[in-house]
Structure 1
Amino acid sequence: MKNHNSDPQDGFAGLKENFIQDASSGFIVFLLALPLSLGIAKASEFPPIMGLITAIVGGMVVSMFAGSRLTIKGPAAGLIVVVAGAVNEFGGGDTGWHLALGAMVVAGLLQILFGVFKLGKLMDFFPLSAIHGMLASIGLIIIGKQIPVLLDVNPALTKGKEPLQLFASIPEFIANLDPKATLIGGISLVIMLSWPFIKHNKLKIIPAPLVVLLLAIPAELILNFQTSQPKQALVQIGNLFDSIQINASFDGFAQTGTFIKFVIMFALVGSLESLLTVKAMDMLDPFKRKSNANQDLIATGIGNTLVAFLGGLPMISEVARSSANIANGAKTRWANFFHGFFILIFVLLASDLIEFIPNTALAAMLITVGIKLTHPKEFINTFEKGIEQLLILLVTILFTLSVDLLVGIGAGILTEILVNLFNGKPISALFKAPTEVSFTNDAYLVEISDAAVFTNFLGIKRKLEAIPANFQVTIDLSKTNLVDHSVMENLEHFKHDYERQGGKVHIIGLDSHQPVSNHKAAAHKKVK
């Protein structure tokens, strides 16, 4: 069993103990976060400096009471779709921005309540393939929105176009591209896509976005963008102190349906993405510390409420920056603090440099994020888990692209329910699976009946989490007619977490079940 006495200390003792590692990792993450925060804000129809305000608050404030130690809090590309959608539906421009902020304030308060009422576990209610479909949809929408920015076309050509219309308009965008700006954007995209394949150890340490800026800014100066290019070619951020004021407006209450829709989407999508990142980073943490998901939701909700009043973007635990933080040797929450601190110092002392950044370079960074979210390997991995999982993913994508994100998630959930009914799940087991826990001979036996599926897993999980640590646990699935993919994967997560604490878990009773594919996490249905 792991000796937790070797864990890094928290609080000011942790700052003193790990100052060098956390400050150096925070600095590297700052180099990654600065351009991405600007690009995400701009793509979200927010003033670019608002992305930096979110990163500063997420780092310097939220890090102090977050439930996760190594995640980086800041604006996320995954929320671009929701934020930009809110701005546009509330009227666009400054008016849309102010009204969207009002919905964000309420969503932040709702996120705090999610944590207070310990609803972090609700993540397990959503089928994993629908979540992957949501993320892939977001990736496609980011790519569609950023291609015209990469080509530096007149914004009038994209105005009012939905995601599918943007993809259909790519030939028109190419015909109207700006050669100078596109050249910088194209080279930036090549760097972003090829950098992960660099083998040189010292070069790999340098974040790809920093390499892009080191090339794009001198190129822009040589090509004289300041006088030869239209205004949209360069980032415009303004003054930090002029920007910080109460920017949220609650006049959007008058548009009741729209207001409620975006409150739900901000709270739901932001919480889901944040919780998924926290879960993933716990598995990467070299000290195997387990985050408090509910405390993290409360901290993120407080941060979101604050930045929404000020005019900033919603924040989450962001996966790329958090992964970089761990990879660069961060030990405690102070790395997140330092990343926000360095952004603040840069904005105060060198904000003029930001206005030399070409928007095509930022677009290249965001397109790379989009490609990662919707990479073909995601579709292949989902197909390997079963053709029905690919169907759920594709339905989620189709409805998200053609309607919106909330409808897409709902369609994915409904498809999974229908698939489970088709595979033999009793209707009586829709939200409840009979689960008996017994204790004999210093070992626990958990017997699950009827069906173990995503809609009833919360009840199963509650009983599993009530089992004390350091015992032998057997989970018997022989009385089930169906165990779906989400439950198979979640049981493996439980096994991993429980055994990490010193116990042992055996999953039995699937001998009379037929897996729907060869993947270890495939759904299993009982052979009649």
Structure 2
Amino acid sequence: MGMPSNPTEVPKGNFNGFKSHFKHDILSGFLVFLIALPLCLGISLASGYPAVAGIFTAIIGGLVATFISNSELTIKGPAAGLIVIALGCVQEFGFTGGVDPEKDFQAYRLALGVGVVAGIYQIILGLFRVGVLMKLFPSAAIHGLLASIGIIIISKQFPVLMGLSPQGAPLELLASIPSFIINMNPRVGLIGLLGVAIVLSYGYINNPRLKVIPAPMLMLLIIVPLGTFLGIGVEGTYTFNSQTFELGQKFLVNVPGNLLNAVTLPDFSGITTETGIKYTLLFAIIGTLESMLSAKAIDQIDPWKRKTNLDRDLLATGMANTLSAFIGGLPMISEIVRSKANIDNGAKTRFANFYHGMFLLLCVALIPGLINQIPLAALAALLVITGYRLASPHEFITIYREGRDQFVIFVSTILGVLATDLLKGLAIGIAVKIIIHFIRGGSVFSLNAKIIPERDQSITIFLRGSIIFSSWIPLQRQLQRFLDDGKRVTLDITETKLVDRRVMSKIEDWKKIFKDKGLELNVKAMYTSIDE
């Protein structure tokens, strides 16, 4: 992680910061660009959008959002977590997967219309400072949602990695993995499996000079020449083990030679349909949740402990999303992997995000022919690994260790998503959380508390019952009131049946807020009262 050279000097993303930290930010921006390029292409294609759509998104995220958000280290761009939503949107609008290019293009334009409206929703949420509501979604349900997205990504991209293109439900595709391996296109499958091996073995490389090149780009530097040698993009067939397999341009990325020719305007005729309304909500809600989670996570590892104004960041994301969809881009979020790499590469200010967008613009404008040599199987390899990380066994173990209740919510959300869709699955996870809350004697959006003023002008708040995500709004209101009054506060949770870990995390944040004001916020607790 990049550490501050002078801990007392906090870098700021203003004009002075632009000049002072130019070398650090442009270097980090370039290294993040090397990571972002293959991921943007892969996410676009997996979403049913043209390959260049993800590039548009990252360019707008870098060149526009940088100057609106105060988040100093996050990188804006397309995210694997939104693949399932984007693909579902174009499919329900008539996407055929290449069978009928005219229908595919129309589905893409209709999805862009949905993206514009979703971006406007995010702008409204940011302007009216209701981002706090997004922070109240149960953590276990959100992690379950992301894990289910990871499972779906693996199911959809593994066949592409093998040089195949079957259709089906996620569980059906997962069950067919042995069949995909048996029936794979050998040359394409070799490219895909080697891509997975290169990225997974990257952590074992000890040569610091070689590790300057990020894993995705190192993989492409090996895979692209190999793909050319194997003739992956040459139209024709070959025989292996007495079977005939196809090769050709359909196995390679395809971006236009002129970037302006790729600009596509949205079609708004679908925004009032059932499909349009559903995916507008999904893009706005899931995108906002993912973006906020990423921004908060990056704040926690910021070497200077700078804090992102989440409402302002949401406003920036919404404005950038609206503009991105207007020219043909995917939805964007504050992307966690690229943001973490940004810190590790020594970025100081938000201008690293700007430079990453600028390098992407120069790349796709000046060398589109080189991009068109990238095998789709290599991009699928990156996405399969991304999907695995979202739904890894470690994620299941981590949630289980947080408590049985959390694990039940987590698994319920995953099963709900796989059995229905993302929105219904998330609703199922929230419903399970509320049911558990009621079982433990809680209520929704109310606070079972007794407030006692002490003789020393301090306040004691006795909490009772179950305190979950929906209880946080009234509790936060009380804390804000006593903070404004200059009171010291003690939260007594010894009589609670359960306190959600997400609420406890927010209480810890408020301890720091009180401390910054020269006040105290203390918690009197028993270990058994914390979320089971």
Question: What TM-score results when the alignment is normalised by the length of structure 1?
Answer: 0.91
2:444 paired residue among 412, 430, 441: 430
C-alpha contact 1:27 1:339 (8 A) present in aligned 2: yes
Q: Which residue in 2 is equivalent to 1:519? A: none
Q: What is the Cα-based RMSD across aligned positions, in Å?
A: 2.4
Whether the 8 Å CA contact 1:420–1:484 is kept in 2: the answer is no
State whether residues 460 and 489 of structure 2, in contact with CA within 8 Å, keep that contact through their aligned partners in structure 1: yes
Residue 243 of structure 1: aligned partner: 261
Look up the SS of the partner of 2:523 in the other structure: strand
Alignment partners' CA distance in 2, 1:192 and 1:219: 16
What does the per-residue CA deviation read over 1:24-67, in whole Å, with 9 as the maximum and x for residues that have no partner?
A: 00000000001100000000000001110111110011111113
Q: 1:424 to 1:175 in 2, by over 3 A?
A: same
Check the 8 A contact 2:72/2:350 in 1, yes or no.
yes
The alignment partner of 1:329 has SS state of coil
Residues 240-289 of structure 1: CA deviation (Å, up to 9, x unaligned): 434354521011145x2111110100000000000000100110111111
Local SS of the residue matching 1:455: helix
> How many residues align structurally?
507
The equivalent of 1:109 in structure 2 is 120
State whether structure 2 residue 360 is matched by structure 1 residue 360.
no
* Cα distance in structure 2, aligned partners of 1:187 and 1:324: 23
- Preserved CA contact (<8 Å) 1:281 1:323: yes
Residue aligned with 1:139, SS: helix
> SS in structure 1 opposite 2:493?
strand
2:313 corresponding residue in structure 1: 296
Cα deviation, residue 494, structure 1: 3.6
2:218 aligned residue (196, 211, 223): 211
Q: Does the 8 Å CA contact 2:135/2:289 hold for their aligned counterparts?
A: no
1:421 alignment partner, one of 434, 438, 445? 438
Which is worse superposed, 474-483 or 280-289?
474-483
Aligned to 1:523: 531
Are the equivalent residues in 1 in contact too, given 2:440–2:466 (CA < 8 A)? no
Q: Which letter maps to 1:130?
A: A
**Displacement of 1:18 after TM fit?**
0.4
Taking the TM superposition and a 5 Å limit, the aligned residue runs for 1:54-453 are 54-92=57-95, 93-153=104-164, 155=165, 157-158=166-167, 161-227=168-234, 228=236, 229-253=247-271, 256-425=273-442, 429-435=443-449, 436=451, 441=456, 445-453=460-468
Distance of 2:384 and 2:517 partners within structure 1: 40
Closer, same or farther: CA 202–423 of 1 in aligned 2, 3 Å: farther
Output one character per residue of 1:298-342: Cα deviation in whole Å (capped at 9) or x when no partner: 110001111111110000000000000011111111000000001
Amino acid at match of 1:250: F
Using a 3 Å threshold, how does the CA distance of structure 1 residues 504 and 87 change in structure 2: closer, same or farther? same
The corresponding residue for 2:474 is: 459
Deviation at 1:445, TM superposition (A): 4.0
Map Cα deviations across residues 395-439 of structure 1 (whole Å, 9 max, x no partner).
Answer: 1001101210001100000001111222232xxx31111454858
AA partner of residue 52 (structure 1): I
Mind listing any 5+ residue stretches in structure 2 that lack a counterpart?
Answer: 96-103, 237-246
Change (3 A) 1:501 1:168: farther
Evaluate the alpha carbon distance shift between residue 90 and residue 437 of structure 1 in structure 2; reply closer, same or farther with a 3 A threshold: farther
* Counterpart code for 2:445: F
Offset, 1:459: 2.0
- Determine which of 41, 44, 57 is the counterpart of 1:41: 44
Offset at residue 440 of structure 1 (A) = 6.4
In structure 2, relative to structure 1, the CA distance for the partners of 1:510 and 1:180 (3 Å cut) is: same
Which piece of structure 1 moves more, 344-353 or 104-113? Answer: 344-353
Aligned-partner SS, 2:135: helix
Who is 1:518 aligned against?
Answer: none
Pair 1:108–1:224, CA change in 2 (3 A)? same
What is the distance in 1 between the residues matched to 2:264 and 2:309? 31
Task: Check whether the contact 2:233–2:250 (CA below 8 A) recurs between aligned residues.
Answer: no
Q: Secondary structure at the match of 1:356?
A: coil
Once the two structures are overlaid, the 10-residue window that deviates more, 415-424 or 108-117, is: 415-424
Residue 230 of structure 1, CA deviation: 3.0
Residues in 1 aligned to 2:226 and 2:477: alpha-carbon distance in whole angstroms: 57
TM-fit CA distance, 1:205: 3.2
Q: Residues 328 and 465 (structure 1 numbering): CA distance in 2 closer, same or farther, change over 3 Å?
A: farther
State the alpha-carbon separation in 1 of the partners of residues 204 and 504 from structure 2.
33
Alpha carbons 1:56, 1:343 under 8 Å: kept: yes
> Contact 1:469–1:501 (CA<8 Å) still a contact in 2?
no
**Contact 1:164–1:402 (Cα < 8 Å) also in 2:** no
Closer/same/farther in 2, CA of residues 459 and 222 from structure 1, 3 Å limit: same
SS class of match (1:226): coil
Distance in 2 separating the partners of 1:264 and 1:172: 36
- Give me the whole-angstrom Cα distance separating, in 1, the residues matched to 2:489 and 2:194: 55
Q: Is the 8 A contact 1:444 1:473 kept in 2?
A: yes
Map of 1:499-514 to 2, 5 A cutoff?
504-510=520-526, 514=528
Counterpart AA for 2:427: G
Equivalent position amino acid for 1:14 in 2: G
Q: Paired residue for 2:494? A: 478
Alpha-carbon distance in 2 for matches of 1:17, 1:162: 52
Could you list the per-position Cα deviations for residues 149-186 of structure 1 after superposition, in whole angstroms to 9, with x for gaps in the alignment? Answer: 10011x2x22xx12112112223322321111111111
Deviations 1:481-510 (A, max 9, x none): 432333233333444665588765432143
CA deviation after TM superposition for structure 1 residue 198, in Å: 3.4
Give the distance between the partners of 2:343 and 2:388, measured in 1 at CA: 22
Alignment CA distance shift 1:5-1:151 (3 Å): same
Cα pair 1:469 1:502 within 8 Å, conserved:
no
Report if the CA contact (8 A) 2:437-2:466 is conserved. no
Retained in 2: the 8 A contact 1:248–1:308?
yes
Superposed displacement of residue 96, structure 1: 1.4
Residue matched to 2:99: none
Separation (CA, whole Å) in 1 of partners of 2:458 and 2:347: 38
Contact 1:437/1:463, CA 8 A, preserved across alignment = no
Change (3 A) 1:42 1:423: same
Q: Offset of 1:136 from its aligned partner? A: 0.3
Distance 1:382 1:350 in 2: 44
- Fraction of identical pairs, as percent: 43
Q: Distance in 2 between matches of 1:348 and 1:437?
A: 66
1:69 deviates by 1.2
CA contact 1:76–1:318 (8 Å) conserved in 2: yes
Tell me by how many angstroms 1:209 deviates: 0.3
TM-score by length of 2: 0.90
| Offset from partner CA, 1:93-134 (integer Å, 9 cap, x none) | 112111111111111000001111111111232111001100
